[in-house]
Chain A
Amino acid sequence: MSTTAELLKGAAELFPDEVVTSAHVRHLDLPFGAGRFALITLDNGFDHTKPTTFGPASLANLNTAIDQVEAEAAAGDIVGAGITGKPFIFAVGADLKGVELLKKHEDALAIGKGGHEVFKRLAGLAVPTFAYYNGAAMGGGVEVGLHCSYRTVSKAIPAFSLPEVFLGLVPGWGGCALLPNLIGADKAVSVIIENSLNQNKQLKGQQVFDLGIADAIFEGADFLEQSLIWTANVLKGDVEVERPVIDRGEGWDQAVAKGRFIADSKVHGAAPAAYRALDIIAAAKNGDLQQGYDAEDQALADLIMGGELRSGIYAFNLVQKRGKRPAGAPDKSLARPVTKVGVVGAGLMASQLALLFLRRLEVPVVLTDIDQERIDKGVGYVHAEIDKLLGKGRINQDKANRLKALVTGVLDKAEGFSDADFVIEAVFEEIGVKQQVFAEVEAVAPAHAILATNTSSLSVTEMASKLKNPERVVGFHFFNPVAILPLLEIVRGEKTDDASLATAFAVAKKLKKTAVLVKDAPAFVVNRILTRFMGEIQNVIDEGTPVEVAEKAVEPLGLPMSPLVLLELVGPAIGLHVSETLNRAFPDRFTVSPNLAAVVKAGKRGFYVYDSGKPELDPEVAALLRQGDVVLSGEQVRARVLDAVAQEIGLMLDEGVVAEAQDIDLCLITGAGWPFHLGGITPYLDREGVSERVNGKKFLAPGLASVPA
């Protein structure tokens, strides 16, 4: 048994539940008498809904297949060898479940080496090798093809990527070393760094070809046939494959520098993966592949044993799995159909909601408001947005006509809501107003209709308290911008029944939102944590720490924007309002910043001016600030802020605001854009020792978002 086989056998023992991919070897006669050819098919035996992956036993199968092909190549029995995938799937890379199980650095190293040892053999065969990217290819799937002499790609491929950096890894089975040497450092940085950090953007087949990753592109209908015909022509010398000359001088260094700039702007140095990948790309300039592979092995092992990857996988699983099967949601069979939606209010928020319901549910949506002018404006907004979609080609004229015909506005709620199944209000945040609105809706809407509120801070239970049927009231809290942020906090009031809640979750699913079940508690989840977080920043500013020190203090977390920029986006007045609400609920922890109040009173909409091209504190805001004389260092600020956040989350879990800490993280990732490498926030708080310092225990069980014990 070869050492590679032994290495993989050892690794396979650590991962008994692997879905094992077979590597079938089949022989065929190439067209035009070009000779006998061995084609390896990667196939895990399931259909396309379970994509093919590489765990250790799968790599061992490929290794065995290559044993056979290698012998045939050496004996002159074949003129070439190829590799392709089952229908619709090439291979989507390493099996993350196996990576999660790894506990020791040496085991992690073995995974990297194992992949390299197997894939490298393709490059070492005595005959030319060909990869046929027939379907989805990611990570190790892309990399196995990079080791081949030639590649073709199907025009029909919807997803092709090296997503490792997105998760907290590096493309470590040759990706970092081979790709820049194939297509140049600049394009490689785009694929490995930029796309990964841009919400894991996928390439389509045409782009794979245009980038030079594939030497030929064929349509999906007869992709494999045409690839094999092309192969025959290449082997006969009838087709010459041209590769672009790569800039190995300054262009290479500039590409790496560009990569660092992108990484800085996205993760602010907070996550190591992108930087490790860039180091390897930088070193690959000399074309020494083995040195690159060794560096990949080291980087993989370090990252697999580090917290960021575990947080990344944890976050990925939250969004992909928990986000799709919300914890605590009632049985979906209880859900009632929603065939017409009412929206109370025709302001901007209400109009955005109307548009969302319209596009996703494609049922009649009726807006009401206090006068015809507002209603016309609301319906006009929706029509204008539909026209924008039409203009961009996102919908066709028929769909635009259909959607426009479905949205209407009426003054009389009785006329609008008498047959509505779901009515959502987005009126002024004032409990008396909302109670009044719900009473009016209840008087005219059918008895089964759900009454939903988009309140961000008021009590859903209190809002329902004066109704005859309070059991049908649910909180339906969206995040701005409604069309972009996936989170929807679904709030169960004291009397909300299972059928109403199930209906709310069913609607959320149709809206394509990530729904999280939340208890009726002040400001629910995201706003409560963000307000505590911002409140602590404002506190240290009010006490005397300079604004820029406070702002920079949290940069290492890699949040999507600085605290004050976020406050600008939310609107200082709304921020102030939420802090007042939480201050009333929890006066000992939530403060109302007098400086923020002054900024709001002065009618300022933000803190910064951008005249010079980058943000500078608005002199008018600076003049309003009244600060104390306690100046903290960045480190002190960060510790104070994180302690506050850890304390608040601890209290929220004690109160049962959500089922588990995972739901907090899911909310922060999908509702506030907090990064994957933090895993939301609780894995980070655990890893940095904040949780234990503040609450005396970690939020998450070991292994959930960390190296298992």
Chain B
Amino acid sequence: MPRTVRDVVFVDGVRTPFGKAGPKGIYHETRADDLVVKAIRELLRRNPGLDPAKIDEVAIAATTQIGDQGLTLGRTAGILAGLPQSVPGYSIDRMCAGALTAVTTTAGSIAFGAYDAVIAGGVEHMGRHPMGEGVDPNPRFVSEKLVDESALFMGMTAENLHDRYPQITKQRADEYAVRSQEKAAKAYANGKIQQDLVPISVRRTNPEAGETGWGLVTADEPMRPGTTLENLAGLKTPFRVHGRVTAGNAAGLNDGATASIIASEDFARENNLPVKMRLVSYAFAGVEPEVMGYGPIPATEKALAQAGLSISDIGLFEINEAFAVQVLAFLDHYGIADDDERVNQYGGAIAFGHPLASSGVRLMTQLARQFEEQPNVRYGLTTMCVGFGMGATVIWENPHFEGDK
């Protein structure tokens, strides 16, 4: 049977505001599955043209698939969100690139013709499920020196990356972090972020964490607008004595969820759904686990090569800011300035937070908004580093592109 590969588009994406993990965090008493369920429901409300019965898959990512992030979350979240029972679902794990992989995996299936439209997203409640909960690494990793012991601790891999690129100093990392906070605050002030946030009702019974009772979360909790270099200079370097990685130049430990609609372009057009981005190519790559922050570079190389593009064709970058050093390594590799205005225009994970498996769709939602605003840009990319030495990159085309002016 002859097959035609179909164009795949990003229809729409939303997310919950991100919270700080821990007993005083806004989501401390909120279940992870409820977060993703509410994101899915908002997505459906915003896109009434999408008949829920026509959704072919619900792919939800989580790194720690235990408890309220377990039980094949894609399936259970679909039922909890009120989707018809006929809509199937599954769970995905590629740690930080979970939601991104949910998008690319279902996108591959759409291109192949297996699906017309899907929901892809992710959730991580790092307060309820701290990194490393329940892990049981094979002792051979260490005995056979398959990886360095630091590979399991993301902060240590970031220190390792500083070692590899001595020109990326703590000063540069801190400067980058301050800019991320500034850009995020500006994006908030201009209403760029709020339009894709799902308000979440949250209960608090612990008076030490603040006012008790039900509240409503409408903004990201981790943001630190007004952060200065002086503020950052004094922070501890918890991963290494006299190190460079601090809580200020890295994303924190966060709770949150994202969801997106991915569809074939034909389906989207037939059902009058928005077409916010068109998928061009995607790629994943493996690197040495102890410098996992290097991962975006080979992944981007592969994705560019597949698309027949060069880095100069990319007009907008959404790079996940797990660590400032990882972003700077990427920029240095491609000879892009630390403050290049094409990069993370709305700020990044250092300001908003990084609930591991949910973040990929946040990058896409923000890139989609930037495409809308900048029809002069044809191509953009979303990229992120992934634990255990991986990188993930998706290249998107702007459907609003009006040609080079």
- Closest Cβ of chain A to B290, distance in Å, is 43
A613-648 interface mask toward B, CB cutoff 8 Å, 1 = contact, 0 = none?
Answer: 000000000000000000000000000000000000
List B residues 70-99 near A (Cβ within 8 Å).
Answer: 80-82
Asked whether, in the complex, the Cβ of A31 is within 8 Å of the Cβ of B37, the reply is no
- Stretch in B58-66, B163-171, B196-204 with 4+ CB within 8 Å of A: B196-204
- Closest Cβ of chain A to B392, distance in Å, is 31
Asked whether, in the complex, the Cβ of B37 is within 8 Å of the Cβ of A221, the reply is yes
Dominant secondary structure of chain A at its interface with chain B: strand
- Distance of A222 Cα from B39 Cα, bound (Å): 10
Q: In the complex, which of the residues A84, A86, A224 has the most CB atoms of chain B within 10 Å of its own CB atom?
A: A224
Asked whether, in the complex, the Cβ of B211 is within 8 Å of the Cβ of A228, the reply is no
- Distance of A26 Cα from B212 Cα, bound (Å): 6
Whether A384 sits at the interface, judged by CB under 8 Å, is no
Whether A283 sits at the interface, judged by CB under 8 Å, is no
Asked whether, in the complex, the Cβ of A31 is within 8 Å of the Cβ of B199, the reply is yes
Given contacts A219-B82, A221-B38, A221-B81, contact A229 B215 (CB under 8 A): no
Asked whether, in the complex, the Cβ of A221 is within 8 Å of the Cβ of B80, the reply is yes
> In the assembled complex, which residues on chain B have CB atoms less than 8 Å from the CB atom of A45?
205
Asked whether, in the complex, the Cβ of A26 is within 8 Å of the Cβ of B211, the reply is yes
Whether A27 sits at the interface, judged by CB under 8 Å, is yes
B188-220 interface mask toward A, CB cutoff 8 Å, 1 = contact, 0 = none?
Answer: 000000000011110111000011111110110
- Closest Cβ of chain B to A416, distance in Å, is 40
- Distance of A39 Cα from B80 Cα, bound (Å): 26
> In the assembled complex, which residues on chain A have CB atoms less than 8 Å from the CB atom of B41?
221-222
Contacting residue for A41 out of B38, B81, B198, B214, CB 8 A: B214
Given contacts A39-B213, A225-B38, contact A26 B82 (CB under 8 A): no
- Closest Cβ neighbor of B39 among chain A residues: A222
- Distance of A41 Cα from B215 Cα, bound (Å): 9
Asked whether, in the complex, the Cβ of B213 is within 8 Å of the Cβ of A25, the reply is yes
A26-40 interface mask toward B, CB cutoff 8 Å, 1 = contact, 0 = none?
Answer: 111111000000011
Could you tell me how many residues of chain A have their Cβ less than 8 Å away from some Cβ of chain B? 24
> In the assembled complex, which residues on chain B have CB atoms less than 8 Å from the CB atom of A219?
82
> In the assembled complex, which residues on chain B have CB atoms less than 8 Å from the CB atom of A25?
211, 213
Whether A24 sits at the interface, judged by CB under 8 Å, is yes
Asked whether, in the complex, the Cβ of B38 is within 8 Å of the Cβ of A24, the reply is no
- Distance of A22 Cα from B214 Cα, bound (Å): 13
B208-252 interface mask toward A, CB cutoff 8 Å, 1 = contact, 0 = none?
Answer: 001111111011000000000000000000000000000000000
Asked whether, in the complex, the Cβ of A225 is within 8 Å of the Cβ of B200, the reply is yes
List A residues 60-107 near B (Cβ within 8 Å).
Answer: 84, 86-87
Asked whether, in the complex, the Cβ of B201 is within 8 Å of the Cβ of A41, the reply is no
> In the assembled complex, which residues on chain B have CB atoms less than 8 Å from the CB atom of A41?
203, 212-214
- Distance of A338 Cα from B216 Cα, bound (Å): 51
> In the assembled complex, which residues on chain A have CB atoms less than 8 Å from the CB atom of B42?
222
Contacting residue for A28 out of B37, B82, B215, CB 8 A: B215
Whether A43 sits at the interface, judged by CB under 8 Å, is yes
List A residues 380-435 near B (Cβ within 8 Å).
Answer: none
Contacting residue for A228 out of B38, B198, B201, CB 8 A: B201
Asked whether, in the complex, the Cβ of B213 is within 8 Å of the Cβ of A87, the reply is no
- Distance of A39 Cα from B204 Cα, bound (Å): 12
Asked whether, in the complex, the Cβ of A24 is within 8 Å of the Cβ of B213, the reply is yes
- Closest Cβ of chain A to B388, distance in Å, is 35
> In the assembled complex, which residues on chain A have CB atoms less than 8 Å from the CB atom of B210?
26
- Distance of A66 Cα from B215 Cα, bound (Å): 17
> In the assembled complex, which residues on chain A have CB atoms less than 8 Å from the CB atom of B81?
221
Asked whether, in the complex, the Cβ of B214 is within 8 Å of the Cβ of A26, the reply is yes
Contacting residue for A24 out of B37, B199, B200, B211, CB 8 A: B211
> In the assembled complex, which residues on chain A have CB atoms less than 8 Å from the CB atom of B214?
26, 39, 41, 84, 224
- Distance of A224 Cα from B218 Cα, bound (Å): 13
- Closest Cβ of chain A to B35, distance in Å, is 11
Q: In the complex, which of the residues B200, B204, B216 has the most CB atoms of chain A within 10 Å of its own CB atom?
A: B216
Contacting residue for A224 out of B198, B201, B211, CB 8 A: B201
- Closest Cβ neighbor of A37 among chain B residues: B216
Asked whether, in the complex, the Cβ of B213 is within 8 Å of the Cβ of A225, the reply is no
- Distance of A224 Cα from B34 Cα, bound (Å): 13
Asked whether, in the complex, the Cβ of B215 is within 8 Å of the Cβ of A39, the reply is yes
> In the assembled complex, which residues on chain A have CB atoms less than 8 Å from the CB atom of B215?
26-28, 39
Given contacts A221-B80, A228-B199, contact A26 B213 (CB under 8 A): yes
> In the assembled complex, which residues on chain A have CB atoms less than 8 Å from the CB atom of B199?
31, 225, 228-229
B20-60 interface mask toward A, CB cutoff 8 Å, 1 = contact, 0 = none?
Answer: 00000000000000000110011000000000000000000
> In the assembled complex, which residues on chain A have CB atoms less than 8 Å from the CB atom of B205?
43, 45
- Closest Cβ of chain B to A225, distance in Å, is 5
Asked whether, in the complex, the Cβ of A221 is within 8 Å of the Cβ of B216, the reply is no
List A residues 206-230 near B (Cβ within 8 Å).
Answer: 219, 221-222, 224-225, 228-229
Q: In the complex, which of the residues B204, B211, B212, B213 has the most CB atoms of chain A within 10 Å of its own CB atom?
A: B213
- Closest Cβ of chain A to B7, distance in Å, is 33
- Closest Cβ of chain A to B24, distance in Å, is 15
List A residues 36-62 near B (Cβ within 8 Å).
Answer: 39-41, 43, 45
- Closest Cβ neighbor of A29 among chain B residues: B218
- Distance of A222 Cα from B199 Cα, bound (Å): 9
Asked whether, in the complex, the Cβ of A26 is within 8 Å of the Cβ of B204, the reply is yes
Asked whether, in the complex, the Cβ of B216 is within 8 Å of the Cβ of A30, the reply is yes
- Distance of A22 Cα from B218 Cα, bound (Å): 26
Asked whether, in the complex, the Cβ of A222 is within 8 Å of the Cβ of B201, the reply is yes
> In the assembled complex, which residues on chain B have CB atoms less than 8 Å from the CB atom of A22?
212
> In the assembled complex, which residues on chain B have CB atoms less than 8 Å from the CB atom of A228?
199, 201, 216
- Distance of A30 Cα from B205 Cα, bound (Å): 21
- Closest Cβ of chain B to A560, distance in Å, is 42
- Closest Cβ of chain A to B209, distance in Å, is 11
> In the assembled complex, which residues on chain A have CB atoms less than 8 Å from the CB atom of B38?
221-222, 225
Asked whether, in the complex, the Cβ of B213 is within 8 Å of the Cβ of A40, the reply is yes
Asked whether, in the complex, the Cβ of B211 is within 8 Å of the Cβ of A225, the reply is no
Given contacts A26-B204, A219-B82, contact A225 B216 (CB under 8 A): yes
- Distance of A28 Cα from B212 Cα, bound (Å): 12
- Which 4 pairs between the two chains have the least Cβ-Cβ distance? A24-B213, A41-B213, A224-B201, A26-B211
Pairs across A and B, CB under 8 Å, 8 listed: A24-B211, A28-B218, A43-B213, A45-B205, A84-B214, A222-B37, A222-B38, A228-B199
Besides A27-B211, A29-B219, A221-B81, 19 more A-B contacts (Cβ < 8 Å) are A26-B210, A26-B211, A26-B213, A26-B215, A29-B218, A39-B213, A39-B214, A39-B215, A41-B212, A45-B205, A86-B203, A219-B82, A221-B37, A221-B41, A224-B214, A225-B199, A228-B199, A228-B201, A229-B199
Task: Please give the residue numbers on chain B whose beta carbons come within 8 Å of chain A beta carbons, in ascending order.
Answer: 37-38, 41-42, 80-82, 198-201, 203-205, 210-216, 218-219
